[in-house]
Structure 1
Amino acid sequence: MENIIQQHAILLKDKVRMEAYKKAIFSSVKEGDTVFDIGGGLGILSFLALKAGASHVHVVEVEPGTWTLLRLVAKHNGLAEKMTFHKGLSTKIRLKKRVDLIVSELFGNLCLNENLLPVLIDARKRLLKNGGSIIPSGMKVFFAPCENRDWEFTTTALHNLDGFDLLPDLPDIDVGTPSMIIKNADLLSEPRVFIDIDIIKARSETAANLVTFNVSRDGLLSGFASWFEARLTGKISFSTSPNDLTTHWKQGFLPLRTPQKVKAGQKIIFELEFSPDPSGLNSIMGYHFEVK
């Protein structure tokens, strides 16, 4: 339980995240509404919905330990009788009646890398009333090529630790997409919008695009920085941009295995796709880039 609490404490202490979601829920919930909370965690979004006037909340959580703790926390706060607890993936849940509001916080540090898009589209199609609302209602994802001295230092250290190479260059090793602080000074071009999604209108569960970056200065291309703007409602949003207050997401970083020197005036062609993962937990991500 201790690790679960520590993990969720990081999310709950994120003031940017929490204040935006609280405002969005209180501006969206009407007295007597029913709500579906996807990825309930310790229940805070469900509890806020009930406090805002919802009559009942269906909450789904896939992680067994978190699901158990969620029920205990709800009972401790006297709210369990107004909640139905579902264990597993939201895509497997069936409800007798559709709900007025769907609320979820499934953002990864690249926004879409935790299967957010297919999960919300599925819930909208099957579980939301006509005219119902979804939080978040949309998102805009940005990418930019960048230098990252912290990452370069980390990988250099792993390549030679007491004479051992702990980071072999094998194509099937996934180094992940770490969350790191990226500064504007690290960027090698102006950022570009990768995709802008309206959840109510979205049809495709795959997000893909090709963008071209114009390199603005000489530098070492370490990878691609990413951040997003989350539109929770029409008027309430937050951003993980380097220009805004730091969140627990920081900025996402898509590292290259081998950093590459680039010069001002060159172009970087960047192609990226997020597609649904059959396991339902994370998106399948593939990307390609070319420097010209």
Structure 2
Amino acid sequence: MLQNQTPQPSQTCQPQDAREAERLVQLAKSESLGDGGVRTSQILSEALSADPCHHEAQVLQERLHQMFVPRWHFPMLADKARNRAYAQAIAAKVRPGDVVLDIGCGAGLTAMLAARAGAKHVYTCEQQPLIAAAAARVIAENGLSGRITVIPKWSHDIVVGEDMPEQADVVISEIVDTVLLGEGALATLTHAMAALAKPGARAVPERGRLMAQPVESGKLADLWRPQKAEGFDLSAFHRFARVAQLTPNDLETCGMRSLGPATELFQFDFTRPDIDPARTTGDLVCAAPGTVHAVFVSFEMDLAPGIQVANDLQSGGHWGRTAFLLDRPLPAKTGAQLRVTAQHDASQLSLSVHGLAPRAGAADSAGLWMTRAWKGGYSLQVRDGLGPDEAAVWAPAHTKGPDHQAPSFH
């Protein structure tokens, strides 16, 4: 138990320091966040310099950092397997004298790996000003400011001849979420490879694949769709939990059992990307008997020949996982086939489950399950005169541009 203690002289603040800290905190609270929190962060830092123990300044600073610096940055930077794979791939792709474009600077790690691999110069872009400023400091502290330029812009706003003197020989990125699409990788890389890179430019990663497989996990169902609590039936609430976004700890806790091999849904070529939508219908084979609780979707990315990262059931690492929950668990025998339809556009993935037995003609969907729809990119629209499964469609909503998008689940 903490005891009330009298602060030592070195821990106390002079009255004028405390008053100055309070004045700065009030100023920070009135400051606009339109600059990405830069000015507010500076003011709060000054307040804490005056009074390191100022409670409200500490709370506001932490709230500001959580708002503008997504928490997944930290386990990502601690992911040794991911870091090693990127280091090896960048060393294999970057040649002495190359100009490198690094999209999504973060803490500056991949930019510094490119410089270490021999790049003539690395241009790394980061649209969040607080992160961009911190990355510039990291790069400077590692003695690489002369070879790496941090561009505090969204990559779509970069102008060759102004922000970087020439097009890039290599484009590096790590802007994927749990199903590759959610951070806008396809649109970003389509623009970058066409406008910011030389013809035939190399890319890290090179390719990606989305895979799906049936899984059994009573613990997953209990976690996301508990039937009862204190004797009360909760099933009417389950419609809000169709897509399970899982942390690595959730994955371990749920102990998902694969009922069949992972089947490819889509392939993406990041060296020649496009934003064309695609749709596929196919069968996921159950190689073992069990109860299908969900369809588990994962990715594989080829960073360079022979160097791969993934977020499948067997992989470790920091990436989250995605499972599409069935409305009702389905008992399945060995050899049973679960028919699904998957669709994607430039940034979203949906999955429909049709049941175990294939049906002739258009199958009745067990539900349209759309990832990331709650983040503001899509709104639910209903068209009159159509059947219940056809009437509800997800349509793009009006947004204010990329700077106003919610942070992604990495």
TM-score, normalising length: structure 2: 0.61
Q: 1:161 to 1:284 in 2, by over 3 A?
A: farther
Query: When you count strand as a share of all residues, which structure comes out higher?
Result: 1
Deviates more, 1:155-164 or 1:7-16: 155-164
1:182-197 equivalence runs, <5 A = 186-197=257-268
Q: State whether residues 242 and 324 of structure 2, in contact with CA within 8 Å, keep that contact through their aligned partners in structure 1.
A: no
**Larger relative contact order, structure 1 or 2 (CA cutoff 8 Å, min sep 6):** 1
* Amino acid of the structure 1 residue aligned with 2:340: F
Match in the other structure for 1:70: 135
1:36, 1:103 within 8 Å by CA — same for their partners in 2? yes
Q: How much does 1:99 deviate?
A: 0.6
Unaligned runs of 5+ in 2: 1-61, 358-410
| 2:195 paired with 1:126 | yes
* Structure 1 portions without partners, runs of 5+: 277-282
Counterpart-to-counterpart distance in 1, 2:230 and 2:188: 42
Q: Counterpart of 2:168 in structure 1: which amino acid?
A: V
Could you give the per-residue CA deviations for residues 94-139 of structure 1, whole angstroms, max 9, x where no partner exists? 2222111100112322233332222222211111112320000112
| Cα distance in structure 2, aligned partners of 1:102 and 1:220 | 44
Q: 2:319 aligns with which of 237, 249, 274?
A: 249
State the Cα RMSD in Å.
2.9
Structure 2 counterpart of 1:213, from 263, 284, 295? 284
Q: 1:67 to 1:198 in 2, by over 3 A?
A: same
Distance 1:258 1:11, change over 3 A: same
> Superposed, which structure 2 residues align to 1:4-83 within 5 Å?
4=69, 7-83=72-148
Task: Select 1:178's aligned residue among 246, 255, 263.
Answer: 246
Q: Which residue of 2 aligns with 1:288?
A: 352
- Whose radius of gyration is greater, 1 or 2? 2
Contact 1:142/1:195 (<8 A) preserved: yes
What is the CA–CA distance in structure 2 between the aligned matches of 1:159 and 1:75, rounded to whole Å?
Answer: 55
Query: Within the alignment, does 1:229 sit opposite 2:229 as a pair?
Result: no
Aligned residues: 283
Q: Show CA shifts across 1:214-257 (max 9, x none).
A: 333443322211222211112322333334x412126x232326
C-alpha distance in 2, partners of 1:70/1:193?
Answer: 37
Whichever residue aligns with residue 239 of structure 1, its letter is A
Hey, what does 2:339 align to over in structure 1?
Answer: 269
2:101, 2:74 → 1: CA distance? 22
Provide the C-alpha distance between the structure 1 equivalents of 2:72 and 2:274, rounded to a whole number of angstroms. Answer: 33
> Bigger shift: 39-48 or 58-67?
58-67
Aligned AA for 1:90?
A: S
Q: Distance between the aligned counterparts of 2:300 and 2:148, measured in 1?
A: 30
State the match for 1:92 in structure 2. 157
1:55–1:82: 8 Å Cα contact kept in structure 2? yes
Write 1 or 2 for the structure with the bigger share of helix.
2
Give the fraction of aligned pairs with identical amino acids, expressed as a percent.
22
